[in-house]
Amino acid sequence: MKTSQSFGVHFTIKKEKAKDGVTNVYAAVVINKEKVLFALKHYVKVDNWDKGRGGLKVKVPEAKETNAYLEQVKFTITTYYQQLQIAGKEVTAQLLKAMFLGEQTEETHSLSSLMDYHNEVASAALTWSTLKHYAVTRRYLEKFLREKRNTTDIRINDIDYKFIIDFETFLRNHQPKDHQKPLNNNGVMKHLIRLRKMTTLALKLTWINKDPFKNYKFRYKKVETAFLTNAELTAINDHEFGAESLNMIKDFFFFACYTGLSFVDLMNLSPNNVVTGEDSGKWLKLFRQKSNEPTNIPLLEPALKIMAKYTDNPRALAGGTVFPNISNQKVNSYLKEIAKMVGVKKKLTFGVARHTFATTITLSNNVPIETVSKMMGHTKIATTQIYARVLLKKISEDMNVLREKLEPQVPKAKAGPKDITKPSKRVTR
């Protein structure tokens, strides 16, 4: 653990504790602004104490013996400090006191050791891309500690409400020096959620005994979920690009629009995932890499046509996948070019394609939200409801149907019997 700390040991007495003019010598251990004072089993006369020197006055007969003892105490505490530094452990004044007095001390865990352990246990369950996000959060934490706490590590027990608020403020004010944009509100919240997941792990391991996030409220700003309309889908589909690479990415994007697959699931799709479903049609059956949730999707005709184009693709055959593999970074670059060439103002991503499947392809065509949720591999239907909220066209159509049902029926006038009480008019000549 790399730290930049101020460390010191000195000695003092407390005159108010003296009995018959004799008192204990106290050792004061100071690390940065943390100071711990504890009594030594060594007694001196108050009148013989040299406050400026921090020891007995040199002319006192017992000065040599007492001052040598205090030097030994200082040497011992300093040695403990250096040993902990070399071992990469978090050093505190309280810990040095406990070590010197021989007290039983609980093992202290640092934030870096927690992050190391989290990375170790989570690597089997999380994808590489998710672990990459945790690595970014770690870099922000280390940068925060260097700039605001003059260290790169702290004890987990020192993560409290103030630490969380200070870290949030740091993230909001941080100005990246490279091409990246400053973090928006939801980006800040994601880093704090990752920190909370790690402190929750520490709580379960009993490395800490209280949740530092107990009184913290996460504040998300609602963001409209982008998806393509039928007109935008048609515009992209009807456009033939000169570069074969762009046409291939267009195919991948459209396949996602008609299946709801994420990019990583599309790239991992193998012929074994294509099965004959309950309706004798072709289905996709797989587990989502992100959530490990089962996903069962009947293949629509546009998706089947795209798959057929890559049946004999050499790269796909060599990789044992339905489609030839390509990096996500390249795909995003190509999608940006496609949107510009076609004139679509929205930023095209595979997230947009997935949302398009949920909205334009399924929900707006009256597919029940429960069915869409299953095909999307959502663990909660509330996640799918986010897409349903943005379907203004669907709301309009549903309300028009209701309007017609509630529209009052105006009865037609019927001819009644003649009124015989009124005399008929005679025409006189």
The answer, yes or no, to whether residue 291 has pLDDT greater than 80, is no
Residue 141: name the closest of 99, 191, 189 by CA.
191
Residue at a domain's end among 204, 239, 260: 204
Same domain, 259 and 398: yes
Does an H or E element contain 308, and which?
helix 301-309
Using pLDDT thresholds of 50, 70 and 90, give the confidence band for residue 6.
Answer: confident
Burial label for 107, CB within 10 Å (0-12, 13-18, 19+), is exposed
> Does residue 210 belong to any structural domain of this protein?
no
Q: Comparing 419 with 20, which gets the higher pLDDT?
A: 20
Query: End of a domain among 101, 135, 151?
Result: 101
Res 411: pLDDT? 56
Q: Is the per-residue pLDDT at 121 higher than 90?
A: no
CA 249 to chain centre: 29
User: 235 and 116 in one domain?
Assistant: no
| Cβ–Cβ < 8 Å for 344, 236 | yes
Q: Is 264 helix (H, G, I), strand (E, B) or coil?
A: helix
Q: Which residue has the higher pLDDT, 374 or 398?
A: 374
Domain span at residue 28?
Answer: 7-101
- State the pLDDT at residue 248: 94
Which amino acid makes up residue 185?
Answer: N
State whether 289 and 395 are in the same domain. yes
Please give the share of the chain, as a percent, with pLDDT higher than 70: 88
Confidence of residue 42 (pLDDT cuts 50, 70, 90): very high
pTM for the whole thing?
0.57
Residues 374 and 263 in one domain: yes
Query: Inter-axis angle of helices 328-342 and 244-259, to 10 degrees?
Result: 100
Confidence bin at 176 (pLDDT 50/70/90): confident
Residue 409 lies in a domain: no
Query: Highest mean pLDDT: which of 129-133, 291-295, 354-358?
Result: 354-358
Q: Are residues 179 and 314 in the same domain?
A: no
The pLDDT value recorded for residue 88 is 67
**What is the pLDDT confidence band of residue 429, given thresholds at 50, 70 and 90?**
very low
Please give the full DSSP string across 35-61, using - where no structure is assigned.
EEEEEEEEEEEGGGEETTTTEE-TTST
User: How far apart, in Å, are the Cα atoms of 225 and each of 73, 295, 359, 378, 427?
Assistant: 65, 22, 10, 16, 79
Higher pLDDT: 407 or 186? It is 186
In one letter, which amino acid is 167? Answer: F
Asked whether residue 145 falls in the same domain as residue 80, the answer is no
Instruction: Give yes or no: residues 80 and 119 share one domain.
Output: no
In this structure, the answer to whether residues 323 and 261 fall within a common structural domain is yes
Does residue 106 lie in a domain region? no
Q: What are phi and psi of 243, to 5 degrees?
A: -90, 130
From 70, 101, 132, the end of a domain falls on 101
Looking at the structure of the chain, the number of domains it has is 3
Return the pLDDT at 10.
94
Q: What is the mean pLDDT of residues 63-88?
A: 89
In the predicted structure, residue 428 carries a pLDDT above the cut 50 = no
Position 147 in a domain: yes
Is 68 domain-assigned?
Answer: yes
Looking at residues 88-114, what average pLDDT do you find? Answer: 77
Mean pLDDT of 125-129: 71
Q: What is the pLDDT of residue 363?
A: 85
Beta bridge partners of 29: 9, 36
* In-domain check, residue 31: yes
Measured CA to CA, the distance from residue 27 to residue 21 in angstroms comes to 19
Q: Which residue has the higher pLDDT, 185 or 389?
A: 185
* Residue 383 maps to a domain: yes
323-367, pLDDT tens digit by residue?
Answer: 999 887 788 889 999 999 999 888 898 989 998 998 889 888 888
Average pLDDT (48-65) is 91
Residue 225 lies inside a defined structural domain of this protein: no
Mean pLDDT of 365-379: 84
Say yes or no: 91 and 116 in one domain.
Answer: no
187 in the same domain as 140: yes
Together in a domain, 284 and 383: yes
Report the candidate in 14, 114, 25 with the shortest Cα–Cα distance to residue 62: 25
- In terms of domains, do 386 and 259 share one? yes
CATH number, domain with residue 387: 1.10.443.10
Q: What burial class does residue 348 get, using C-beta atoms within 10 Å of its C-beta: 0-12 exposed, 13-18 middle, 19+ buried?
A: buried
